[in-house]
Structure 1
């Protein structure tokens, strides 16, 4: 038989999705894959019931229904402080996963280089492999996960085509400051590169931190592809509705890539999701307050358990230090945690380019009773402090 594509030689399955399967196998509380266990806003589910009867049930315009794009443009124009033309500046995608892939394929040729901050969301490496580009990793230093400006400059000097920016960040919860974004913007202009942003947690930011859109900075809209989705904002991760916002000449090409990748996002879900895009400011304020309460509940629990972690500034993830448990393999630790403790997490090494094995990632986008149950189960960790887990299995 002929050989398979060699570009997949270093390709692994998603560790995050693998941990969800392990969670199901051991009936563990799933704090690994970042999806809620609570319902979307009722306005969306009620509209979805109507759409089930009334439609649409056939293809929409491949780059998004006219109504969806109009409502999205109104919402994002207000938030970003720049005019977004629904006819020229938007392509609706099958989730932000496709948005990021389409964006990278639009601006990069095989053999190009792309800057990726480390730690990073695992899909970015997969996007690079499938696009045929080489990632240039720049570390973010804990506890604030800030980049070294000189290291970043040296990365740009390697002749990169684009930089990928996740803000707020998965897995760290870092919210990039305006000053940091301005530094990235200056380098992007100086070295004539694109910026591909992943902003799916744009509405989940905790005081005193503030989310700033890269595309809103002076001169940056023309070189920024702003990727996001409705998944996290409206608790509809299974609807797979994402989008790219960018300058007209870039979006024209994005639409071609998107068309041949997936044809188009689901028409009935676009119609129902319009109800979310029409939400007023009070919805987003309440969303932040809800996640603030969840963050407080979960982090207070980690404090009681004596676990060390990095406090997230945004999003709904927290990196926890497991070095005190004496297991040098974070993958094995997470499998053990799901099997013996009943809580599923993600091995931190899947997010780092560096040789880092002392972290695991939890998420707290769950009902309060789910978080309480997870914390209760984690109390069993006390018996294993300072022990070699390999001797307890």
Structure 2
């Protein structure tokens, strides 16, 4: 049988490739972005209780009502945005599903969607599958800030949406209030929608506040805002995320969602509703928790020949390896696994056309002290 692929440029993701290499070399895997520690005991106990008390059948497609209420309350407390839990919150099977559903809901054939490179690798395939065209606008290669004039210049009559991501994967850069104002200005008086990937919303460092688009009423009125309980509660394998969007956008979003997964794992939704309401200190203390991880890992890497880039949010450390090798980043990551027994992610995987002289790789520091020490010892030998 001859199959004509709908995604001719897509193969196995770089995260799977590097994790498989790590396993084959028995390497420390600092590539794929997941914690190697469990979420709160109270959350795991609540999951067990939910299953044992019979919460094992379909949840409402839009989400367990108590969880939707807690999400709406959190948005109001943190971002000052009033959200209607019934009409504007949808619980999804991970943020990746939410991103796909948002794109599928609004992108028509030959529509253009602007993304900011480097960007997460699931955006463009979803755009392609829905007949759209991805327009890549590069971030500043020195600090990964947005040149909003370049974004404005990329807008055409076909522009349907702009996808933004803060805190940013892979760089850890974060938006300022001025970034929100600039995004609002270039979309004002247009039909352009915003898809805001905010899965690391609770991991922002040095006393800064997360600048959700929900803080800006003008943007909130035209945006899908997507987040992840997996990132917030160290349970990425549960695959529970959510989307907050105005009622009219949520209607279209839910049309797609109901045929992707219909609903998300019920006991996890019940458990998250319980803990989100009763223990907000978990997400409120998350910045300090991961900032300690960041400082610990940076101190361990200080004696190495890597140059450490600033990290303002998320749980990734970019390093420049120019003093170690002149290989391209993918070849360097292959060499690093074999030579040092440490897996990283090449930054070129996040670009359509990476800068020719860029020598950057990404390490994940959402790992135990022992794992980070072992990795640093191996990297120090280079």
CA contact (8 A) 1:157 1:191 kept: no
What secondary structure, in the 3-state scheme, does the structure 2 residue paired with 1:55 have? Answer: coil
Give CA deviations for 1:68-102 in whole Å, capped at 9, x if unaligned: 11122112221221111111001111100000010
Unaligned runs of at least 5 residues, structure 1: 382-393
Distance 2:275 2:167 in 1: 21
Match of 1:256 in 2: 255
What secondary structure, in the 3-state scheme, does the structure 1 residue paired with 2:381 have? Answer: helix
Per-residue deviation, 1:223: 0.4
Q: How does 1:337-376 map to 2 (within 5 A)?
A: 337-356=336-355, 358-376=359-377
What secondary structure, in the 3-state scheme, does the structure 1 residue paired with 2:86 have? Answer: coil
Change (3 A) 1:279 1:139: farther
Match of 1:389 in 2: none
Normalising by structure 2, we get a TM-score of 0.95
Match of 1:317 in 2: 316
Change (3 A) 1:254 1:271: same
Per-residue deviation, 1:343: 0.8
What secondary structure, in the 3-state scheme, does the structure 2 residue paired with 1:62 have? Answer: coil
Give CA deviations for 1:207-256 in whole Å, capped at 9, x if unaligned: 14321111321322220100111011111101100111011011011111
Per-residue deviation, 1:121: 1.1
Number of equivalenced pairs: 380
Distance 1:276 1:120 in 2: 31
CA contact (8 A) 1:144 1:174 kept: yes
The root-mean-square deviation of aligned C-alpha atoms, in Å, is 1.6
Match of 1:3 in 2: 3
Change (3 A) 1:26 1:72: same
Match of 1:387 in 2: none
Distance 1:78 1:195 in 2: 22
CA contact (8 A) 1:322 1:359 kept: yes
Give CA deviations for 1:167-208 in whole Å, capped at 9, x if unaligned: 110001010111012101111124331010000111000114
Match of 2:178 in 1: 179
Q: How does 1:105-184 map to 2 (within 5 A)?
A: 105-157=104-156, 159-184=158-183
Match of 1:233 in 2: 232
Change (3 A) 1:285 1:216: closer
Per-residue deviation, 1:24: 1.6
Per-residue deviation, 1:158: 5.5
CA contact (8 A) 2:325 2:332 kept: no
Match of 1:268 in 2: 267
Give CA deviations for 1:337-375 in whole Å, capped at 9, x if unaligned: 122211110111101222345211111011122111111
Distance 1:224 1:149 in 2: 18
Unaligned runs of at least 5 residues, structure 2: none
Give CA deviations for 1:270-321 in whole Å, capped at 9, x if unaligned: 1122233125453234211111111011112222213113211000112211
Match of 2:15 in 1: 16
CA contact (8 A) 1:156 1:191 kept: no
CA contact (8 A) 2:305 2:380 kept: no
Per-residue deviation, 1:52: 2.9
Distance 1:309 1:127 in 2: 33
Per-residue deviation, 1:4: 2.6
Normalising by structure 1, we get a TM-score of 0.93
CA contact (8 A) 1:227 1:244 kept: yes
Residues 8-17 or 275-284, more deviating: 275-284
1:79 aligns with 2:68: no
Distance 1:150 1:258 in 2: 34
Distance 1:284 1:233 in 2: 7
Match of 2:67 in 1: 68
Distance 1:210 1:319 in 2: 22
Distance 2:205 2:293 in 1: 12
Distance 1:306 1:9 in 2: 38
Distance 2:170 2:185 in 1: 25
Residues 136-145 or 253-262, more deviating: 136-145
What secondary structure, in the 3-state scheme, does the structure 1 residue paired with 2:318 have? Answer: strand
